Structure 1
């Protein structure tokens, strides 16, 4: 099976009613961009009705209101469509454990499944941008000089900025280590090793 290039992925982001579907929280927005060879070639964004009113805190945090959601389709309908968008692609998300929980939960409710691999751009950034003040998306966007797109805490804007962050980390590896062909599984592995060994890992990668 051919190895997947690191710069051909779907980068996604959820806005939700809370922190965990295990405690009854649901998705209220999904945003995603499709990268092919380092270029955004498609986008997906939909609000979805969780079936109950969201809290004033979530309204304030995201800018998504109950009035906006009451006319939107249910999560199951939106996620059925989204499953077609991500089919056959690996995915990237910032703090991916959060997004993957909601992705798996909402797809299961929609009677769909996702079988690709997932990499966390937050974990990877701790290895690539070790000099950043912290590794929140907003901080990294400023640190890496990435243009801001839309508003933070809206799914499509966050997904697009995460995609540019992901590409900036790939470019940084290429520039600093001279590695031209970078594969998704290599960045997934790098995201999981101790950050003290990141330089050694990338040096070994460069040396073949």
Structure 2
């Protein structure tokens, strides 16, 4: 897989923090190559303990659904192969990155790929939106969706479409065709009021 391949991923989990013992219960991802989805990955995974009724209601993932699912370790080993050689993107990426790092650590793998955050980029590029939750951005941008959020593949699909919208926004605003992943990473770190100055310097 060439280095311009991007995997947009989303976890559903038993809670907010792997440091508190929370585990992944579903991973969904789409692989983008030159702006086109070329592959998908979706798998429930059994964390080894029961999920709470809150999480079951929030995600729609029940203990019955997880009872026959493969272990986190099995799924994450497969997912490591899926993302090999790719850049990574997630919405509120710090959340997904900490779970990916924690689950990989359990199978003696290291999460080393660069990770872009569509939430941070949207805060900089779509400042007029009332908030930058995924559902709000999807509605604001008119991204096609089936209205189902908090299932991993659905969220990864619409985040992939959001990523392409963010890339298009950079292209159109600064006449910068096909902005690189590295540029998007740099943009997400810029203060909002510094974007124009940064892009002028970047484009020379």
- State the TM-score, normalizing by the size of structure 1: 0.93
Q: 1:23 aligns with which of 15, 20, 23?
A: 20
Moved more, 47-56 or 178-187: 178-187
* 8 Å Cα contact 2:101-2:111 kept in structure 1: yes
* 8 Å Cα contact 1:4-1:185 kept in structure 2: no
RMSD of aligned alpha carbons: 1.4
Asked whether 1:86 is paired with 2:83, we answer yes
CA distance change for structure 1 residues 73 and 150 in 2, over 3 Å: closer, same or farther?
A: farther
Q: 2:159 aligns with which of 148, 155, 162?
A: 162
Query: After TM superposition, where is structure 1 displaced by more than 6 Å over at least 4 residues in a row?
Result: none
Asked whether 1:183 is paired with 2:187, we answer no
The offset of 1:111, in angstroms, is 2.2
Match of 1:42 in 2: 39
- State the TM-score, normalizing by the size of structure 2: 0.95
* 8 Å Cα contact 2:167-2:178 kept in structure 1: no
* 1:48-98 deviation digits (Å, cap 9, x = unpaired): 000000000000000000000011011000000000000111100000000
The offset of 1:150, in angstroms, is 6.0
Moved more, 166-175 or 31-40: 166-175
What 5-or-longer segments of structure 1 have no aligned partner? none
What 5-or-longer segments of structure 2 have no aligned partner? none
- For 1:102 and 1:15, locate their aligned partners in 2 and report how far apart those are by CA, in whole Å: 10
- Say how many residue pairs are matched: 203
* 8 Å Cα contact 1:87-1:114 kept in structure 2: no
Q: 1:146 aligns with which of 143, 146, 149?
A: 143
Asked whether 1:64 is paired with 2:27, we answer no
The offset of 1:199, in angstroms, is 2.8
